[in-house]
Chains A and B, each alone.
Chain A
Amino acid sequence: MTRGGVTGEPALGPPPLRLLVPAVVAGVFVALPLLGLVLRSPWERMPTLLADAAVREALWLSVLTATVATAVCVVLGLPLAWTLARTEHRGRSVVRGLVAIPLVMPPVVAGVALLAAFGRTGLAGAYLLDAGVTVPFTTVAVVLAHTFVALPFFVLSAEGALRSASSEYDAVAATLGADRWTTFRRVTLPMVLPGLAAGMLLAWARSLGEFGATVTFAGNYPGTTQTMPLLIYSVLQDDPPAAYALSLLLVGASVLVLVLLRDRWLGQVRAR
């Protein structure tokens, strides 16, 4: 309980100014734009904006596509993360690097790449077109764009969680006669659930904010491909105050994600 000796306080002295000053600058740097957004937003217009059909459509589409994209990330990304964490093969680091590329790629480039693959003249798109399927300008394209950029967030979090859940448990389960699928389902999965949830939230938040890949690959049409960030950009061109107010909604969503993640991140820091 009491860590210090006689004084009761460890004699570390006050925090040094050369750490404190940049720390304050960093805090202000992040807080100021958010404050500007809050102060500039026409709050009194918020109810009218929220009642606006185009806004509701975009909000609903954003939530829908982000959620579906997150689900796709789990269905495809969890097996990928497991493969990366639990199997030994030479291509592993190559695959991991490949999955991480969308993290550092400009989203617009991701959109161009998706067009090259799934556009009407793309690698796979040309065959899809023959089969009567066009992907660009559809909600499916939005989900594809979101999945492409959000997948690394989920896979890397899930792989981290799987690695920290030691594979010794797998070995114990094997000695008790469980096959690897049963072990995955009954032993590994329950242990890594919190880590997976964090990865899902990150992927969801990334989807919600996605702009560049979506506008390039899926286009912008109310009800089918116009998500909130696209609506905000469109509105910004002739009604900036409304765009500020709509941006606040997305900031609110980011705050919500942080609150949901607080036990994982903020809590972890506090526990130290």
Chain B
Amino acid sequence: MRGRCPAVVVILLAALAGCGGSGSNEGGDRQLRVLAASSLTEPLDALADEFEADHPGVSVTAIYGSSATLASQVIEGAPADVLATADLDTMTTVEEAGAVLGPTSFAGNRLVLVTPADNPAGLSSFADLSSSEVTFVACVETAPCGKVARALLDRNGVPTQPRSLEIDVKAVLTKVTTGEADAGLVYASDAQAAGNEVQTFAVPGSAQEQNTYAIAVVEASSHGDLAAEWVDLVLSERGQSELAEAGFGPAPDTAP
């Protein structure tokens, strides 16, 4: 009896630590941990398969989330090899904290207007948002997609306000696809991923208000060489075409 309970606790903790550590233990696999903005899910998953095929014994684990959350995780020392953010500001914060090495911009994304497939409010263009009858949603202005949405609404002189400032772009898309909102401002890549579930309309001036995606090797990475190869793949022609297929554009010029 003596000490059984603590022993059980130790075993459980060890098992948990195992989960957190090198997840795969098939003959000393190397694991590349990529932390990326959730809008990158589709193209990076495709590139991960390719990377694994080219690097036997390497498994790529992609963790998707909001850029700000991932950035603070990297600053706080979460295990990671590569960080990809949906905007330059967030990456700059991480770079200034000394947590990443020399970031590069690798893609751009512009906002589009989406409606549910049956377009219940009968929108025919972005200008129809000005009608007070239309319930539309956008990202909260503290998030990159919200900053761009605010800039575009101002630039086009839309007098009406969003009914809700959703906490991330996926939440905006969900409000539209579930029919709670008549329209929403999401990234072109999200609209592409939603396929037939939405109708997509262009937003005037969206090319001038793009956000820039940045990628960098994490300073504390234990596989710096592999991480650099991953960044090269994303920047390569192959990586760029995968991104273009998912609705992303090339990285816009950094000049304002």
Contacts and interface: CB of A to CB of B under 8 A. Distances in A.
A195 interface: no
A237 B142 contact: yes
A261 interface: no
Interface residues of B, number: 25
Contacts of A237: 66, 68-69, 140, 142-143
B110 interface: no
B179 A239 contact: no
Contact of A219 (B161, B166, B179): B166
Interface in B171-229: 171, 175, 178-181
B124 to A, nearest CB: 21
Interface stretch (A72-80, A114-122, A182-190): A114-122
B167 A121 contact: no
Contacts of B89: 238
Determine the main DSSP class of B at the interface with A.
loop
Majority SS of interface residues in chain A? loop
Contact of B164 (A120, A220, A233): A220
A121 B120 CA distance: 12
A214 to B, nearest CB: 11
Given A219-B163, A237-B143, A115 B180 contact: yes
Interface in B65-107: 66, 68-69, 72, 89
A115 B178 contact: yes
B59 interface: no
B231 interface: no
B135 interface: yes
A221 interface: yes
A230 to B, nearest CB: 8
A120 B179 CA distance: 7
A220 B179 contact: no
B91 to A, nearest CB: 13
B233 interface: no
Contact of B135 (A137, A226, A240): A137
Which of B161, B162, B180: most chain A Cβ within 10 A? B180
Interface string A148-176: 00000000000000000000000000000
Interface residues of A, number: 25
Contact of A220 (B6, B68, B167): B167
B137 interface: yes
A252 to B, nearest CB: 23
B3 to A, nearest CB: 9
B244 interface: no
Residue of B140, B162, B179 most packed against chain A (CB within 10 A): B140
Given A220-B167, A237-B66, A239-B142, 16 more contacts: A115-B178, A115-B180, A120-B179, A134-B135, A137-B135, A137-B137, A137-B163, A215-B166, A219-B165, A220-B166, A233-B167, A234-B142, A237-B68, A238-B89, A238-B143, A240-B72
26 contacts: A18-B6, A115-B178, A115-B180, A120-B179, A121-B178, A121-B179, A134-B135, A137-B137, A137-B163, A137-B180, A219-B175, A220-B165, A221-B165, A226-B165, A234-B140, A234-B141, A234-B142, A234-B167, A235-B142, A236-B142, A237-B66, A237-B68, A237-B143, A238-B142, A239-B142, A240-B72
Interface of A: 18, 115, 119-121, 134, 136-137, 215, 218-222, 225-226, 230, 233-240
